[in-house]
């Protein structure tokens, strides 16, 4: 079955799904690119839209799909006594605000009796979701729905979150429209004022608010507000650290102080992450984090036997060598070790020079660190 195409319009600059982060910090902007979790979510949403799980890629994806389908069917049974007048899947909602606007796509809408809407959004991840009455995304979709369907008197907004075994709902009334408009307008207008300042420098410190969501922001590594918070954390680890002017990050003395602080915080963070994983491995259940098995690295311990077995399966030595990265420095050392005493370094250099002249060695750009 063909997959739905949602590429035509793209995302709004301040999309409903991003408003949670913008409300937390007006300077927030998400990173480009995607993630495995986001791609999984897209596949499940597309399967739900066409009610066909055949393109899902794992048992986990099929399970989430099926749970949402079952939960939605059961939930909508509550409205069987009402006349179903409209049904919409993947409904685009434009949201007109005071001096600004946004838009987004909500997953499902049923309209009953022409006056009652049931607006549904699917959440395929494990993260905690605010209830619809406090959730910026649901507020935006609800307002857009009231505007798109002027005869609706109430909208029951529902989040299905199978990975948390949660169904969250709240009923909005048309009398809520004014408050929703004011709240959403304030968040977006503030973001429109602050975010562009990154293009010409840095927003004022007073305009930025570090939150747990900073890790999703593209400006994480240059944000002075987050930098100030990191310095505070470092001073709790080592109270003897000096005060640092976080606004002077190009001053050589400040650079050295922040370099030391970065190492302290990084070392502490890496140690803490290992302790957190150990706790989970011991059976401690965390609210939203789950143990994820990482890929096992495999290393060939007997190259000759490996090549012999591969050859038996029709893979020759040349093919094997084209799929591996050879440790040039180690091989050059092995060449040098064949020389008589005093000639090792010279022979290694000759070997590397001949390889370079033959054009068979690529050098990556030089990298540096500080010590």
Residue 206 has pLDDT above 80, yes or no: yes
Residue 363 lies in a domain: no
pLDDT of residue 170: 98
Reported as a single tens digit per residue, the pLDDT across 94-105 is: 999 999 999 999
Residue 2 has pLDDT above 60, yes or no: no
Residue 353 has pLDDT above 70, yes or no: yes
Out of 109-118, 182-191, 290-299, 327-336, which region has the weakest mean confidence (pLDDT)?
A: 290-299
Give me the domain span that covers residue 250.
223-281
Tokens representing 274 are: 């290992």
- Phi-psi label, residue 177: left if phi above 0, alpha if psi -120 to 50, beta otherwise: alpha
Pairing mode, if any, of strands 101-112 and 116-122?
A: antiparallel
Residue 246 has pLDDT above 80, yes or no: no
Tokens representing 14 are: 């301040």
For 191-212, what is the mean pLDDT? Answer: 92
Q: Look at residues 151, 179, 196 and tell me which one is the last residue of a structural domain.
A: 196
Pair (47, 181) in one structural domain: yes
Residue 248 has pLDDT above 80, yes or no: no
Pair (77, 43) in one structural domain: yes
Pair (147, 257) in one structural domain: no
pLDDT of residue 10: 67
Residue 203 lies in a domain: no
Residue 329 has pLDDT above 50, yes or no: yes
For 139-155, what is the mean pLDDT? Answer: 98
Residue 7 lies in a domain: no
Residue 63 has pLDDT above 90, yes or no: yes
Q: Where does the pLDDT of residue 3 fall: very low under 50, low under 70, confident under 90, or very high at 90 and above?
A: very low
Pair (98, 234) in one structural domain: no
Pair (28, 126) in one structural domain: yes
> Mean pLDDT in the chain?
90
For 339-361, what is the mean pLDDT? Answer: 90
Reported as a single tens digit per residue, the pLDDT across 131-145 is: 999 999 999 999 999
Residue 265 lies in a domain: yes
Pair (184, 58) in one structural domain: yes
pLDDT of residue 4: 43
Residue 190 has pLDDT above 90, yes or no: yes
Pair (158, 48) in one structural domain: yes
Tokens representing 25 are: 């910090």
Out of 112-126, 153-167, 327-341, which region has the weakest mean confidence (pLDDT)?
A: 327-341
pLDDT of residue 8: 55
CATH number, domain with residue 39:
3.90.320
Say which residues have a Cβ less than 8 Å from residue 327's Cβ, sequence separation at least 6: none
pLDDT of residue 265: 85
Q: Where does the pLDDT of residue 297 fall: very low under 50, low under 70, confident under 90, or very high at 90 and above?
A: confident
Pair (189, 241) in one structural domain: no
Pair (83, 137) in one structural domain: yes
How many independent structural domains does the chain possess? 3
Phi, psi dihedrals of residue 17, rounded to the nearest 5°:
-70, -20
Pair (262, 157) in one structural domain: no
For 188-209, what is the mean pLDDT? Answer: 93
Pair (50, 153) in one structural domain: yes
Q: Where does the pLDDT of residue 153 fall: very low under 50, low under 70, confident under 90, or very high at 90 and above?
A: very high
Residue 255 lies in a domain: yes
pLDDT of residue 9: 55
- pTM, whole model, 2 decimals? 0.77
Residue 249 has pLDDT above 80, yes or no: no
Residue 24 lies in a domain: yes
Residue 217 lies in a domain: no
For 59-85, what is the mean pLDDT? Answer: 96
Reported as a single tens digit per residue, the pLDDT across 256-271 is: 888 888 888 888 889 9
Residue 318 lies in a domain: yes
Pair (161, 59) in one structural domain: yes
């Amino acid at each position: 079955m063909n997959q739905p195409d949602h590429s035509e319009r793209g995302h709004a600059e301040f999309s409903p799904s991003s408003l949670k982060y913008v409300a937390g910090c007006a300077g927030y902007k998400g990173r480009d690119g995607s993630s495995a979790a986001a791609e999984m979510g897209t596949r499940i949403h597309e399967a739900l839209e066409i009610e066909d799980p055949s393109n899902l890629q794992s048992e986990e994806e099929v399970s989430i799909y099926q749970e949402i389908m079952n939960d939605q069917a059961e939930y909508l049974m509550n409205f069987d006594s009402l006349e179903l007048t409209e049904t919409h899947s993947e409904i685009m909602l434009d949201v007109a605000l005071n001096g600004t606007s946004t838009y987004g796509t909500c997953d499902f809408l049923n309209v009953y009796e022409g006056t009652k809407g049931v607006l549904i959004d699917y959440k395929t991840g494990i993260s905690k979701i605010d209830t619809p009455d406090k959730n910026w995304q649901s507020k935006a979709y609800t307002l857009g729905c009231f505007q798109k369907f002027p005869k609706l008197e109430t909208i029951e907004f529902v989040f299905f979150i199978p990975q948390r075994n949660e169904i969250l709902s709240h009923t909005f009334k048309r009398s809520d429209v004014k408050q929703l408009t004011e709240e959403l307008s304030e968040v977006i207008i503030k973001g429109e004022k602050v975010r562009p300042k990154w293009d010409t420098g840095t927003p004022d410190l007073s305009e930025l608010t570090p939150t747990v969501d900073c890790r999703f922001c593209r400006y994480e590594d240059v944000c002075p507000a987050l930098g100030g918070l990191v310095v505070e954390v470092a001073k709790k680890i080592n109270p003897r650290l000096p005060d640092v002017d976080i606004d002077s990050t190009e001053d050589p003395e400040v650079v050295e102080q922040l370099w030391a602080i970065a190492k302290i915080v990084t070392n502490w963070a890496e140690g803490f992450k290992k302790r957190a994983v150990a706790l989970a491995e011991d059976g401690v259940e965390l609210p939203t984090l789950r143990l994820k098995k990482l890929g096992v690295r495999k290393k060939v311990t007997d190259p000759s036997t490996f090549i012999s077995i591969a050859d038996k399966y029709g893979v020759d030595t040349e093919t094997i060598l084209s799929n591996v990265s050879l440790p040039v420095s180690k091989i050059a050392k092995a060449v040098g070790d064949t020389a008589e005493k005093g000639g090792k370094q010279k022979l290694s250099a000759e070997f590397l020079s001949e390889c370079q002249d033959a054009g068979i060695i690529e050098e990556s750009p030089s990298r540096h660190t500080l010590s």
